[in-house]
């Protein structure tokens, strides 16, 4: 049977629930283990032999286009189509009418997947949906099926109908364009297709399928992605520094003496670490980061261009691009009730800092504190509540 040889990746959305991290970048460009989420999707598609990719862009589209370009460096051919209003997945797909012919995959650009995840779907005859067993089904579209044929999709059900969820990865033919109609979301289109007697198969995902819904999900995904990195030392490690486990160090980075790094961990290019810095497992550090002596970082994501002063302790935290943190900055980690939109979530977390925050000496944050983008906090403050973008704490 002919395999599928083209893919559509939906990458137009903003990711409101992931603020402050999506205020200046689309959800698909959030870095996980120093790579944008969308890059994992493109690499998985390429490793399954699919070379033709159309990416539907929208919110802050220039960042996606600048990073991936024509796709040449990822061994694929990329074309871009803009969805000017982000009205839904079916509306996004509708923008491609006449651009995609025959069989194709549809994937979400904001889920991390492995090549094995979609391998069986690439061989599948359309129409088919990639499904995955999930314990907690309340946030997903749940699929009921008989003998591998879908009978029903229920969005965010209140009771357990099944543990199979819709991953948002589909195998379609170009017939789908005449079936979309006025629907804006693909699950509605699928329900109409079933009602009209179309047969849609389930195809179970073998590999990882990881969804980023809330800011703290970044840490969970970071941990899982780091477990698969290749150890590498591209920079300079001074005598007396100790490196254990899966650790990747980028070009131009210097690890000063008496520093202690335990993997899985990744450190980007042109970083200055130490001396006497401790980096513990499940930590990713971007490019051009400076970490001063006697600082401990554990299970955290530090983005590009961050400076961390001496004697700081950062646990279970996310520090976005360009933050300047003076000495003895401490993120307390523990249970916190965090409100996102109208939901309360109980999470074990440290602090989450947006881009370009400036924090004075000896500042302490309580568990679950979210600091918006471009906030300024004067020295000797204890932050017990989240603060919005552009805040000044004196």
**Each residue of 242-263: pLDDT tens digit?**
999 999 999 999 999 999 999 9
The answer on pLDDT for 355 being more than 70 is yes
Taken in order 61, 64, 69, 71, the sign of the CA dihedral is: negative
What is the reported pLDDT for 177? 87
Residue 353 maps to a domain: yes
* Count of domains observed in the chain: 2
The answer on pLDDT for 376 being more than 70 is yes
CB neighbourhood size of 84 (10 A): 9
> Do 242 and 202 belong to one domain?
no
Q: At what angle do helices 37-47 and 61-68 cross, to 10 degrees?
A: 50
Q: What is the arithmetic mean of pLDDT over 315-340?
A: 95
Residue 219 maps to a domain: no
Question: Nearest 5°: phi and psi at 158?
Answer: -80, -25
> Do 91 and 125 belong to one domain?
yes
> Do 163 and 29 belong to one domain?
yes
> Do 150 and 25 belong to one domain?
yes
Q: What is the arithmetic mean of pLDDT over 6-29?
A: 91
CATH code assigned at 144: 3.90.550.10
CA atoms of 22 and 29, how far apart (whole Å): 9
Residue 220 maps to a domain: no
What is the reported pLDDT for 206? 82
**Is-cis flag, bond preceding 127, omega within 30?**
yes
What is the reported pLDDT for 174? 86
- Report the percent of the chain where pLDDT is more than 90: 61
Using one digit for the tens of pLDDT, what is the confidence trace for 265-294? 999 999 999 999 999 999 999 999 999 999
> Do 252 and 144 belong to one domain?
no
> Do 155 and 229 belong to one domain?
no
What is the reported pLDDT for 84? 84
> Do 58 and 124 belong to one domain?
yes
Residue 242 maps to a domain: yes
What is the reported pLDDT for 231? 93
Is the pLDDT higher at 44 or at 156?
Answer: 44
Of 126, 154, 123, residue with least CA distance to 139: 154
Residue 218 maps to a domain: no
> Do 186 and 231 belong to one domain?
no
Q: What is the arithmetic mean of pLDDT over 138-163?
A: 77
Residue 42 maps to a domain: yes
Does residue 200 sit in helix, strand or coil?
coil
> Do 34 and 78 belong to one domain?
yes
Residue at a domain's end among 213, 236, 271: 213
The answer on pLDDT for 137 being more than 70 is no
Using one digit for the tens of pLDDT, what is the confidence trace for 176-234? 888 887 888 888 888 888 888 888 888 888 888 888 888 999 999 999 999 989 999 99
Is the pLDDT higher at 38 or at 139?
Answer: 38
pLDDT band of 1, cuts 50, 70, 90: low
CA atoms of 259 and 182, how far apart (whole Å): 59
> Do 333 and 191 belong to one domain?
no
Structural domain containing residue 209: 6-213
CA atoms of 248 and 244, how far apart (whole Å): 11
> Do 176 and 310 belong to one domain?
no
Residue at a domain's end among 190, 213, 236: 213
Answer whether 245's CB lies under 8 Å from 251's CB.
no
Residue at a domain's end among 184, 213, 242: 213
| Partners of 21 in beta bridges | none
What is the reported pLDDT for 381? 96
Residue 1 maps to a domain: no
Using one digit for the tens of pLDDT, what is the confidence trace for 18-69? 999 999 999 999 999 999 999 999 999 999 999 999 999 989 999 999 999 9
CATH code assigned at 251: 2.160.10.10
> Do 182 and 230 belong to one domain?
no
Residue with tokens 């069989």: 103
Using one digit for the tens of pLDDT, what is the confidence trace for 333-342? 999 998 887 7
């Amino acid at each position: 049977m002919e395999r599928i040889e083209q893919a559509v990746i939906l990458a137009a959305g903003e990711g409101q629930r992931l603020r402050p991290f999506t205020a200046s970048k689309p959800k698909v460009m959030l870095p996980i283990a120093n790579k944008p989420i969308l890059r994992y999707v493109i690499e998985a598609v390429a490793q399954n032999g699919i070379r033709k990719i159309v990416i539907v862009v929208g919110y802050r589209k220039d960042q996606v286009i600048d990073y991936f370009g024509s796709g040449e460096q990822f061994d694929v051919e990329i074309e871009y189509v803009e969805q000017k209003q982000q009205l839904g997945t079916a509306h996004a797909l509708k923008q491609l009418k006449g651009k995609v012919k025959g069989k194709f995959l549809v994937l979400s650009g904001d889920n991390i997947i492995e090549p094995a995840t979609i391998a069986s779907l690439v061989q599948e005859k359309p129409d088919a949906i990639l499904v995955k067993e999930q314990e907690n089904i309340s946030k997903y579209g749940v699929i009921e099926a008989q003998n591998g044929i879908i009978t029903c999709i229920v969005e965010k059900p209140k009771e357990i109908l099944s543990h199979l969820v819709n991953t948002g990865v589909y195998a379609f033919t170009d017939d789908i364009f005449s079936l979309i109609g006025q629907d804006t979301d693909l699950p509605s289109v699928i329900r109409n297709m079933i009602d009209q007697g179309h047969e849609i198969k389930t195809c179970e995902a073998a590999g990882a399928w990881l969804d980023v819904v809330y800011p703290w999900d970044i840490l969970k995904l970071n941990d899982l992605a780091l477990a698969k990195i290749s150890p590498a030392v591209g920079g300079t490690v001074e005598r007396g520094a100790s490196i254990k486990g899966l650790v990747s160090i980028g070009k131009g980075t210097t690890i000063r003496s008496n520093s202690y790094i335990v993997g899985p961990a990744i450190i980007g290019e042109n970083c200055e670490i130490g001396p006497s810095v401790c980096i513990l497992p499940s930590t990713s550090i971007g490019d051009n980061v400076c970490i001063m002596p006697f600082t401990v970082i554990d299970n955290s994501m530090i983005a590009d261009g961050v400076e961390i002063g001496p004697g700081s302790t950062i646990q279970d935290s996310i520090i976005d691009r360009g933050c300047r943190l003076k000495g003895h900055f401490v993120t307390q980690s523990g249970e916190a009730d965090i409100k996102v939109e109208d939901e309360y979530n109980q999470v074990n977390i440290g602090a989450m800092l947006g881009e370009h925050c400036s924090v004075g000496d000896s500042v302490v944050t309580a568990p679950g504190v979210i600091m918006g983008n471009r906030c300024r906090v004067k020295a000797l403050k204890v932050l017990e509540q989240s603060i919005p973008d552009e805040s000044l704490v004196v």
